[in-house]
Structure 1
């Protein structure tokens, strides 16, 4: 007799380490999905991502419903309770099914003593949800579904935009693709999708981008396995145009994983003299290679597993173009990685900013006079973005900021800032720096 798998218990096993600040969805969920029956994988993802997306509201509700918090060894029960509340509050799962399966999961977790407790709590929420949520109306973490430090920082950085940013963070991001210019035009890609009854629209700013009306398994998208299309957010697709590389030039993509911007660059510009991609983590470097191979571009790039803040790997030959896709807080892509707002802590931002400045300073030495460097992050905090550029320019007399003339994002004193858009692009930041040939010239 086949073993009956309780998906709620499996999901609780994924989320419990995150509640302890261990790992992330990207580290824990893939293994769980591999052990999940194929017909239940979509539900598993829905439970995990949905619960993490609503984490701060759910935690507030759980605290209201529990007489005392669970002990540290019972974080799987805390995760299961949050999953149960999410199903009743936000999902289309029938309430009776959500309640029954969640209560039964206490047995699977070998904690049958919690069955009555879960049954009582979840049924109470069913009866009193309006009153309970009304009582939490003055709690900013419940209202905005973000940690207090995040609310404070984003409202300080963007007093005119912070409400829209927080609301956008809680929405699901669309599936956006990039047409491979070496194989077909975006118009041809759209026609191919329409022929398979897949609705898509051209992106507003990226010339290669198109967004699907409904997300789907990428392996089922016509042309994907053949390398005609790649998954990439519209904001990330803007990097290649800003870099403006030309045939015969030597290009560096630093902190390059997973390789989307690198692949786009190679698709748009053939005949480059040399392209080098640097990535610190071996597993992430392998992802770059995998993406290059799917597109048939692996022979046009050299991947180095190395630290972009050091020069151990550099051969001393300067680059014409450098893309610095700096490690950052990821606060512009919370829609795609909702665990970021739970796992990221406010006191980490200053340390990240120092890493970003160190990388930028190190790589600047590798840029030819007359060359161009593009600095990019998927952050919406000015501390990681325009303030890094401001600090860098104060320290380097041979650096000149080049304002970006574009219709996208918000023009800042240095660079342009994009905010996450419902149904559109992620949050992102770009700045362009030119290295002057003579320090006395502007």
Structure 2
């Protein structure tokens, strides 16, 4: 699809439609698109932009079904973005608190900002017909459309979870809470909780995560008490388990591989502040900038390098690591409730490609781990091919690798811990702990 420039003049709904277009037609992430348009708006409008654009991602199959029902023929070329504007209008009418009058009137007006002045009548007619025909009250007899997921992902979850598949899909579509991890090198959790209470911020303390705080409502993170002082980081509860499972000890050499944006790196440094050496490695130089920013704000001293994890000879100093956290590149299907655009950016073929890359990284990094050392394998995926199947393969093919269970229910056929979306309010995540035989020399 032809690139579409950002509208010259800002308009809330036109900018939102532009974001939706960038995701669905250009394959851009919502994070990048939203960041660009949010520079033009105030905090309240930015919250609306995020809520509406990501809401469309969650309800896309239903919205597309209604669009096909109401539109005589698809729009093409530089008019295609008007379809995305119409879907935004449908979402407002069906799933938001926006008044019906504003949902129609303001959406129609936004067409002019997208070069669609001549299509304002069409936008108005489609939205009015949607109301007139009461399509929202007419059921859609298609479980895949109702699931809000692409067909490949619907079937992948069905295959992996069978009788529990509907529950997994429903949980994946729910809104994720905002978790904070208190930086205990700067402040104790109880003291930080007092600051939140004084600022009238509603929250709960996680019983299972000693550093975890869960916000009850959406907040401007940078405005929370102690942000500039590095009192906390935003990190989901499932991701907070990484440092606990890795269990770094003072004096050790640690590698956090595929580390950007640095959440787990920071937690490692907080749990073992006297490490001999900690390396945060990532292949994406741009994303490493976030690691630098986060480590500076949190006041952690770690080494940060750009490097290809499949080729350690380019970045490794030859001294084996005591522990390695491999936060492997994955489909991110476990965090779709937090980033609903992921389901439309991923394809079925991506899974095999990612699994092949994970295998290559696992094999390469194993050579950098000292005898008796620990590797924690992690993904934010819920698909077995990236998780337990990957670990089963690695253990079977690697003579000096032993699975050390994290939970009692682990077996050689079902290795690791698979966390599903919504479990204890956490994102979907997978962990497996591997130990290298002490008799092997690097």
> TM-score over 0.5 for the alignment?
yes
Shift of 1:205: 2.4
**Unpaired runs of at least 5, structure 2:** 1-7
Matches within 5 A, 1:161-176: 161-176=164-179
Q: Name the structure 1 match of 2:401.
A: 399
TM superposition shift of 1:46? 2.0
Q: Which residue of 1 aligns with 2:186?
A: 183
Deviation at 1:4, TM superposition (A): 7.5
Partner in structure 2 of residue 437 of structure 1: 438
In the alignment, which residue of structure 2 is the partner of 1:319? 321
Cα 1:24–1:75 change in 2 (3 A) is farther
User: What secondary structure is seen at the aligned counterpart in 2 of 1:159?
Assistant: helix
Q: Which residue is 1:340 aligned to?
A: 342
| Counterpart in the other structure of 1:413 | 414
CA RMSD of aligned residues (A): 2.0
More divergent stretch after superposition (83-92 vs 24-33): 24-33
- 2:12 aligned with 1:7: yes
CA drift at 1:161: 2.3
Is 1:26 the counterpart of 2:7? The answer is no
Q: Deviations over 1:399-441 (max 9, x none)?
A: 000111279x9997110000111781100000000001237xx
Query: Are 2:70 and 1:69 equivalent residues in the alignment?
Result: no
SS class of match (1:67): coil
How far apart, in 1, do the equivalents of 2:11 and 2:181 lie? 38
Task: Give yes or no for contact 1:410–1:417 (8 Å, CA) kept in 2.
Answer: no
TM alignment of 1:277-288, pairs within 5 A: 277-288=280-291
1:142 corresponds to: 145
Equivalent residue for 1:115?
Answer: 120
The equivalent residue for 1:366 is 368
Equivalences for 1:247-286 in 2 at 5 Å?
Answer: 247-286=250-289
3-state DSSP of counterpart to 1:376? strand
373-382 vs 202-211, greater mean Cα deviation: 202-211
- Whether the 8 Å contact between 1:171 and 1:422 is mirrored in structure 2 is no
Q: Is the 8 A contact 2:61 2:146 kept in 1?
A: no
Q: Mapping of 1:292-307 within 5 angstroms?
A: 292-297=295-300, 300-307=301-308
Name the residue aligned to 2:4.
none
In structure 2, the residue corresponding to 1:404 is in which secondary structure? Answer: coil
Aligned to 2:428: 427
Structure 2 residue matching 1:163: 3-state secondary structure: helix
Which ranges in structure 1 are unaligned for 5 or more consecutive residues?
A: none
- By how many angstroms is 1:42 displaced? 2.0
Cα drift, residue 57 of structure 1: 1.6
**1:384 is the counterpart of 2:386:** yes
Q: How far 1:257 sits from its partner (Å)?
A: 0.3
For 2:214 and 2:416, how far apart are their aligned partners in 1? 26
Q: In the alignment, is the contact (CA less than 8 A) between 1:19 and 1:79 conserved in 2?
A: no
The 1-side partners of 2:204 and 2:137 are apart by: 41
Give me the whole-angstrom Cα distance separating, in 2, the residues matched to 1:234 and 1:197.
23
| C-alpha distance after superposition, 1:191-250 (max 9, x if no partner) | 221222222112242221110111200122112221111110000000001101111110
CA distance in 2, matches of 1:190, 1:160: 40
CA–CA separation in structure 1 for the residues paired with 2:408 and 2:431: 11
Tell me by how many angstroms 1:39 deviates: 4.6
Separation in 2, partners of 1:380, 1:427: 6
CA deviation after TM superposition for structure 1 residue 111, in Å: 1.5
Separation (CA, whole Å) in 2 of partners of 1:335 and 1:81: 24
SS in 2 for 1:332: helix
Partner of residue 202, structure 1: 205
SS of 2:333 mapped into structure 1: coil
Once the two structures are superposed, residues 239-295 of structure 1 have per-residue CA deviations (whole angstroms, 9 ceiling, x without a partner) of 001101111110000000000000011011111110111111111111001000001
Partner of 1:309 in structure 2? Answer: 310
Deviation at 1:81, TM superposition (A): 1.0
SS in 1 for 2:91: helix
On the 8 A contact 1:173/1:423 being kept in 2, the answer is no
Query: C-alpha separation between the residues in 2 aligned to 1:247 and 1:39?
Result: 44
Residue 93 of structure 2 is aligned with which of 88, 96, 106?
88
Q: Is the contact between residue 140 and residue 148 of structure 1 (CA under 8 Å) also seen in structure 2?
A: no
TM-score (norm 1): 0.94
- Hey, which bits of structure 1, 4+ residues long, moved more than 6 A? 409-412
TM score, norm. by length of structure 2 = 0.94
